[in-house]
Structure formats: structure tokens, C-alpha cells
Structure 1
Amino acid sequence: MAGGAEEAGRDWTRLPMQWLSEHQRARKYDRADLCCGMIPLLGGQVVRPAYRWLLRQRPSQLLAHIRSVTDPAGLTALKDQYTATGHAGANDCNNALNRVTWIVTAKGGTVHDVTIGDCVELQHAIGEHQTNGYQGEHLFYALLAGLGVFGPDAPHG
């Protein structure tokens, strides 16, 4: 936030390049280098971006890489829960996993640390910062509830 990346969204990579140039430390980096460098920082929960920034990034590769290092067992359990409930379709599963990955990336912790409030906050952020047609998707909540993340008295999704 302090560096302006939050406001810059997908253009955040121009900020470190500009800083390097202004301090005569310009090197030949490109957007891909900086994005690759951000993945371990996000996956290792060193950097926890706000939803505004996170939801404006292209999720395809970023979230898959984060999932591979941030609670892979918890995310595999969610995938298994998806299959066990009779759901089919890679897109629906991926959308649900993306939502849980966004929460864990922004909040820190593991899948089992996600709260109902986190789910509500994410849905609000999605409605505010994305227009991809999936605002009403609540499968991620149902999978988390089915996994027992919210406890036995949680409302059904």
C-alpha cells in the first residue's frame, strides 16, 4: 500500500522499475521477472495484499503457484470434498479453490483458519472489484463447511 502497488493494480510492476531507474540501479527486468518474484512472497505469506490488489491480478498461474506452497494438504482436501459431493467440472472447482486461495493469501494461515466472516468479506470484495460473472458463486463456502472448517453449527451454503 505504501508503495502505491494497491492503486496500480496490474501495473504494479512499473513501480519497482521506476524506483530502480530513479536510483541509477536500472537493470534489465521485465514484468514476468517481477511477477515470478512475487509468487514466493505471496505463497510464503510474507506479503499479504488487500483483496483490491489481489483480485485485479490474472489468477490462472498466480493462484496455482500459491496453492502449491500454501497449505497444499488443505486445498487437496477441498478438491476431494468437491469430488465427494458429486460435483463435476474443472471450472467450478477451480473457481472455488481460487476463492479460498484469495482468502488464505490475503489473511494468512491455512484453509482451516478461514472464517465465515472471511467468506463474506471476500464475496463483498469480488462484487466491488471484479465483473467476471461469478459474484453469486458460493460453492467455496459449501466446500469449506462440508470439510468442517466452520464447525458443526455453521449455516449451510
Structure 2
Amino acid sequence: MKLPTAWMAETYGSARPGDTVDLQSGLLMLICGDVLRPGLPWMLTRTHRYLATVMAEVRDQRGFARLAALAAAEPASSAADAKISATRIATILACKGGTVADVVVGDCVELVETMRQIQTRGGQKKVDFHLRLRALGVFPEAAPHSIRAFGLADD
């Protein structure tokens, strides 16, 4: 956010303390509204506290409601895992467009491979989103039951 705030300071003579928050909120809306599609490496090197929540509100209420219902049927201890999975799925939507139902196995493979390249940690939590999409019936029956079938989730 340094570049936009520097531009604002140069253009308008100053940047206010709240400008960074406004810029981040605006960027989030542009991404969730499918106006901007950032690359996976960029998305995976930032924190996205509200990405899944805003993506659900702006782009796919039904898809994220199905994910939430799936998570509600699990033990309470997995609530954090469900949130991580929702954020991973929202990251795919941010970069690829569409809705939860539009995610394909190749999107999951690309996400996990990019996570590996930029050394994102997470173990099973890194690939749990694939299992949740499978449980929702997003993938066809012939799709691999695990992302491990691609040899990508070995850490």
C-alpha cells in the first residue's frame, strides 16, 4: 500500500492515516467484484482476513453458505480449518473468477503448486479446501479424491 499512498500524497499534497485502510477496502471490493484478478503468488503472499467473508457477500452467497453448512456439521475444533479452506477457495475465485461451483481440480492443483513454490506452510490444512469442494460435489466423480494424487501435498 506504499505506492498508492505515496501517489495520493504527491497528487493531493498529503495522505491521511486512514487512507491505507480505505485503499485496502477498495482493493478488496474490486477483487471480490471481479474487476481485478491478481495472480496467485501475489494473493498468497498477503494476509486476507476478510477475503472469504466479502467474497461470500459480493460474489457467491450460496456457495459459501454451502461451505459454512458443511463446516457446521464438523466438530467445533475444525472451525479454524474451515476458515482457512474458505479463504483458499476465495483466493481461487479472486484469481480465476466465477463461483465456488466453477472451481475445477486444475485450479486446486495450481493453487497448491504455487503455495509450494512460495513456501506457504500448512500441512493438511494447505489442501483441506480440495476435500471440502469434493464433499460439496463440485468435482465430478472421476476427479481424484485427494490432491495428493498429483504429488503436490507431501509437506
Give the shorter-chain TM-score range. 0.7 to 0.9
Match of 2:114 in 1: 125
CA contact (8 A) 2:56 2:63 kept: no
Name the aligned partner's letter for residue 45 of structure 2: R
Q: 1:26 to 1:57 in 2, by over 3 A?
A: farther
- TM-score normalised by L of structure 1: 0.79
CA RMSD of aligned residues (A): 2.0
Give the distance between the partners of 2:114 and 2:123, measured in 1 at CA: 9
Equivalents in 2 of 1:128, 1:116: separation in Å? 18
Contact 2:32 2:58 in 1 (8 A): yes
Distance 1:146 1:63, change over 3 A: closer
Counterparts in 2 of 1:33-112, with a 5 A limit? Answer: 33-84=22-73, 86-88=74-76, 89-112=78-101
What is the one-letter code of the residue matched to 1:100? I
Tell me how far apart the structure 2 counterparts of residues 103 and 62 of structure 1 sit (CA, whole Å): 11
Report the residue type matching 1:18 in the other structure.
A
The AA in structure 2 aligned to 1:16 is P
> Do residues 14 (structure 1) and 2 (structure 2) align?
yes
Structure 1 residues 35 and 76: alpha-carbon distance in aligned structure 2, compared to 1, 3 A threshold: same
Summarize the Cα distance change of 1:64–1:15 in structure 2 as closer, same or farther, 3 Å threshold. Answer: same
Partners of 2:143 and 2:9 lie apart in 1 by 52
Aligned length: 142
Q: What do residues 94-115 of structure 1 show as CA deviations (whole Å, max 9, x unaligned)?
A: 1111111110111000001101
Q: Give 2:150's aligned residue.
A: none
**Aligned letter for 1:32?**
V
| Aligned partners of 2:88 and 2:129 also within 8 Å | yes
C-alpha deviation, 1:27, in angstroms: 4.3
Instruction: Normalising by structure 2, report the TM-score.
Output: 0.80
